[in-house]
Amino acid sequence: MYRADSPGRINLMGEHTDYALGYVMPMAINLYTVVHAQMGNTVRIYSQVFRDVHEFSISNQQKENNWSDHVRSVFWVLREEGHRIGGLKAIVGGDLPIASGLGSSASIKVAFLSLLNEMYGLNLLPVEVALLAKKAENKYMDVPAGISDPFSIVSGKKDHVLFIDTDTLNYSYLKFPRDWRLIAFYTGIPREVASSKYAERKRMAEEVLNLLGKHSSIYVNESELRTLPSLYRKAFGYIVRENRRVLEARDALRTGDLEDFGELMTTSHWDLARNYDVSSEELDFLVKKSVELGAYGAKMTGAGFGGSVVILTDSEKATRIAEGLTELYEERFNWEAEYHVVVPSDGVKVRRM
């Protein structure tokens, strides 16, 4: 019997920059997809959340348009890449909320890729697991997600944040100050990238890079956008500014400047909302009220259009702000809100039991 603990993730800075090959600052968090599995001839998976069972053969990974497609995509991508694997019997559970903007889609793929890597001796490196998870999401699930989610879920480190150049995949770890606190606050609106305007944003970014003759957004200056149509200029201007903010946030983290880091987060959110048009009324409400309640900063995390907000505070204020937000949010939107105080955690772990 094997067990995989695959974390979720939040993105502190760098939303929508990974598909433009820019900078990101994510971290793995202490909420997990947990999978218990053993070898088998076919694939038989049970979800403790959905309370249903799906079974399919290794050679047949046709979509069924339900949660099992995430697992089917893993078997598809491994066979597509020429890896020899067998089946498994698995129970899927854990405490990572599904479709909440905290990386659950990447987390389950990384969990099963890591399990199969261990079970069948595939000798995949962590970066290869991340790239396979991305390919499964892009090609099988038809979701044009970037590398940030699976990379952070594979490479997370306890008490540290990742800084990643998504062009080269060079990365470094930044110590997360012990007295800082992060609250992941779920809006209650599922964040479904496939049915959102995410693909439109990605296509726009690729078109701008092509027009400018640039490989990566980190080589673009705002002055170069003047010749572009106004919509492209407005949207891609956000990406250019966000790349700069990620670098500034890295400096603030290194010096432990809580106020500067929080201000960068909040500025990032309003740039996303006003110029990249990926926020929502609920996300904006949470950011605004978080700051009013004393948070140092707040922003949407993930693709947007719903999902969660990440709020930066300290150990003294965290509970008061979270509870105050819960009350305000339920009063405004008539929704029993959900939040988690999260910390930077290690990436996926597989162990034999």
Q: CB–CB of 222/241 below 8 Å?
A: yes
Active site residue 5: no
The closest of 217, 201, 218 to 209, measured between CA atoms, is 217
d(CA 270, CA 287) in angstroms, rounded, equals 9
Residues with Cβ < 8 Å from 125, sequence gap 6 or more?
Answer: none
Alpha-carbon gap, residue 323 to 235, rounded angstroms: 35
Q: Which DSSP letter does residue 176 get?
A: P
Task: List pLDDT tens digits, range 60-101.
Answer: 888 999 999 999 999 999 999 999 999 999 999 999 999 899
From residue 130, alpha-carbon distances to 35, 157, 281, 335, 346 in Å are: 18, 15, 33, 35, 15
Report whether 154 contacts 129 (CB < 8 A). yes
| Per-residue pLDDT, 86 | 96
Considering the segment(s) 178-342 as one domain, its CATH architecture is 2-Layer Sandwich (3.30)
Counting residues of the chain whose pLDDT is more than 90, the rounded percentage is 91
The predicted structure's pLDDT at residue 189: 82
User: Are domains 2-173 and 178-342 of this chain identical in fold?
Assistant: no
Tell me: pLDDT of 198 over 90: no
Tokens of 345: 């955690």
pLDDT in tens, 269-304: 999 999 999 999 999 999 999 999 999 999 999 888
Q: What mean pLDDT comes out for the span 209-236?
A: 96
Spatial CA neighbour of 25 closest among 37, 35, 10, 38: 10
Q: And the tokens for 156?
A: 């997370």
- CB distance 243 to 23 below 8 Å: yes
Computed over every residue of the chain, the mean pLDDT equals 95
Q: Domain 2-173: give its CATH code.
A: 3.30.230.10
Predicted pLDDT at 194: 45
Is 195's pLDDT higher than 90? no
The confidence score (pLDDT) of residue 207 equals 96
pLDDT at 253 over 60: yes
Helices assigned H by DSSP within the chain: 68-80, 104-119, 126-135, 148-155, 198-212, 230-255, 258-271, 281-292, 318-333
Is the model's pLDDT at 196 over the cut of 80?
Answer: no
Which residue out of 18, 69, 149, 271 is catalytically annotated? 149
What secondary structure letter does DSSP report for 225? G
Q: Is the pLDDT of residue 260 over 50?
A: yes
- Predicted structure pTM score: 0.95
* Domain boundaries, given as residue ranges, for the chain: 2-173, 178-342
Average pLDDT over residues 313-331: 95
Look at residue 223 and tell me whether its pLDDT is greater than 70: yes
- Compute the distance between CA of residue 10 and CA of residue 264 in angstroms, rounded to an integer: 16
Report the percentage of the chain scoring pLDDT > 70: 98
pLDDT at position 193 over 60: no
